[in-house]
Structure 1
Amino acid sequence: MKLDPPRHDPYSTLEQTKRLLEEKGYTNCFQLSSDGDHIEDKNGHQFGINDVALNGTYRFVNKDNEAEYEVLYALSTNTGVDGFLQDGFGKNSSESINNFLQRVENQEQPR
């Protein structure tokens, strides 16, 4: 999966980027389902790999603390539910999230 370089203004922090994405309509904070095959919104609605498109990747690096390496993924669904999925970066990343997003990238865009 190709990652964009670390972001600078206006996407200088994770929280600023979340706010900017929310202003653009990415209002849901998705979580990966326990089976690793879906993302879920806060209401429990599930979206599989064929339902999701990856629209942006934002990486944040704290050079003083590797534990604060983060990635924010902007996602849209074929039902119009847009949001973001947060993960660690590098050794702190989730293999399950990475696998899900790689499968999303290999699919056609949502209908």
Structure 2
Amino acid sequence: MNHIKIFLPKLITEEQVAFVPGRSMSDHCILAQEVFNKFRFSTCKKGLMAIKVDMEQAYDSMCWPTLQKSLERFGFPPNIIMLIMECVQKVQYSILINGIRTNWIEARS
């Protein structure tokens, strides 16, 4: 992590919360838990629904070879680039519908 710290101020926007000192991704997780807790114990007669629409990650808006070239141009070491590319190319999602998990969905560029 120390190798990439020097690049972080140039690369990370204010919206990014994960792995940034002083920012906490757990705040978003706690908020989601609170929403679903309210759903679970709601006495609403009409039903409730939650949708997370924006599932886009920063690397989803460009093709992965472009991401790799960008990391190279920023001067990231090859082993760090390889690790990052492995993480973004092996992403899987699952959707929870009425408490039932769907099959895994492979992310593609």
Class of the TM-score when normalised by the shorter of the 2 chains: under 0.3
Higher strand share: 1
Q: Which has the higher contact order (CA 8 A, sep 6+)?
A: 1
Higher helix share: 2
Under a length normalisation based on structure 1, what TM-score does the superposition of the two structures give? 0.26
Under a length normalisation based on structure 2, what TM-score does the superposition of the two structures give? 0.27
Q: Is the radius of gyration larger for structure 1 or structure 2?
A: 2
